[in-house]
Amino acid sequence: MNEATKTTYADAHQQFTSRSATAQRLMTRWRADEHHQSVVPFVEGHVTSVLYGLSNEDVRATCESTDHALGDVKKSVADAVLSIRDWHPAFAFIHVFHYALESSGALPTYQGFRQMCESDAFLRSALLKPSQDAVKEAIEAGVPRAVARDAMRWRVGNAYYSFLREVYTIVALRTAGLDVRYHVLPDALYAVDCWHGETAISLFIGNAKFKGAASGRKGRAEDVLSDATPPLRFLDVRLPVAHVFGEVHLPPKDEVEKLVALLSATS
């Protein structure tokens, strides 16, 4: 059944951290890292709720009304600016996108998200200011201003598209009656994009080397949580890469149906 109406940090901690010594060590290092000093209280206070109220139609409506997140930027140009291609702010992209979703009460379009970054104090400090600083540093290192700005748009825009695909997958599974749950803690720290019962699900989009495409989150959930007691099951799901520039590519219906059947069999 599609049961959960909210998921807290405590829920995610009990599901993953409390049952894995490796996860506990990773958590300890994360808490002690000064780079994440402001991230820890955010993650502890985050509650997943609005996500659970979304329908497939809500996600599709956002995809149809969103501005093209990549603009006219070419991948070859964006990839050439290594300092931005490999840039990782303290707050992961999934932190800021899920904050925007939960705080606004709706799945934001790309243009809506950009507007929120201007008006919302948290988003200004977590993403807008750091991204502006990264662009400035690239320019000071000799990268043309327009190229540096384009590279950052590609970086953030790709992450936004990955976020939409992952949200759609979670919503589609829940719409099918599966109690799939989400929280930013296991997503950012343990590479668990969502879970269903004792199955930790990791969603790969396109590039097998990076989780969530532009998020830059390397690794596999099983690498962290294989020592969980009681043991967890691990499911890696490859979502198709986009082939038409300028369009949001959601997982095909038949792929979602296969995943529903697979997860239903493990219930």
Is residue 201 a contact partner of residue 233, using CB atoms and an 8 Å limit? no
pLDDT at residue 212, rounded to an integer? 36
pLDDT at residue 163, rounded to an integer? 94
pTM over 0.85: yes
pLDDT at residue 13, rounded to an integer? 98
pLDDT at residue 206, rounded to an integer? 60
pLDDT at residue 240, rounded to an integer? 67
pLDDT top residue among 227 and 74: 227
pLDDT top residue among 215 and 170: 170
pLDDT at residue 2, rounded to an integer? 59
The answer to whether residue 30 scores a pLDDT higher than 50 is yes
Question: CA–CA distance from 51 to each of 67, 101, 188 (Å)?
Answer: 21, 7, 17
The answer to whether residue 21 scores a pLDDT higher than 50 is yes
Angle at 62 between CA 59 and CA 68, to 5 degrees: 130
Burial 219-253 (b: 16+ CB within 10 A, else e): ebbbebbeebeeebebbbbebeebeeeeebbbbee
Neighbouring CB atoms inside 10 A of 134's CB total 20
Boundaries of every domain in the chain: 9-265
Q: Mean pLDDT across the stretch 15-29? A: 97
- Express each pLDDT in 102-150 by its tens digit: 999 999 999 999 999 999 999 999 999 999 999 999 999 999 999 999 9
Q: Mean pLDDT across the stretch 50-60? A: 95
DSSP 1-47: ----S-B-HHHHHHHTGGG-HHHHHHHHHHHH-GGGTTHHHHHHH--
Count of residues making up the chain: 267
- Express each pLDDT in 171-226 by its tens digit: 999 999 999 999 999 999 999 999 999 999 998 866 544 443 333 445 789 999 99
Is residue 66 a contact partner of residue 146, using CB atoms and an 8 Å limit? no
Residue 56: CB partners within 8 Å, gap ≥ 6? 168, 171, 172, 175
Q: Mean pLDDT across the stretch 58-79? A: 87
Pick from 208, 186, 217, 203: nearest CA to 251: 203
pLDDT at residue 246, rounded to an integer? 53
**Phi (first) and psi of residue 180, to 5 degrees:** -80, 135
**Phi (first) and psi of residue 68, to 5 degrees:** -65, 115
pLDDT at residue 241, rounded to an integer? 59
Quote the mean pLDDT of the chain: 90
Asked which of 5-19, 133-147, 162-176, 234-248 is least confident by mean pLDDT, the reply is 234-248
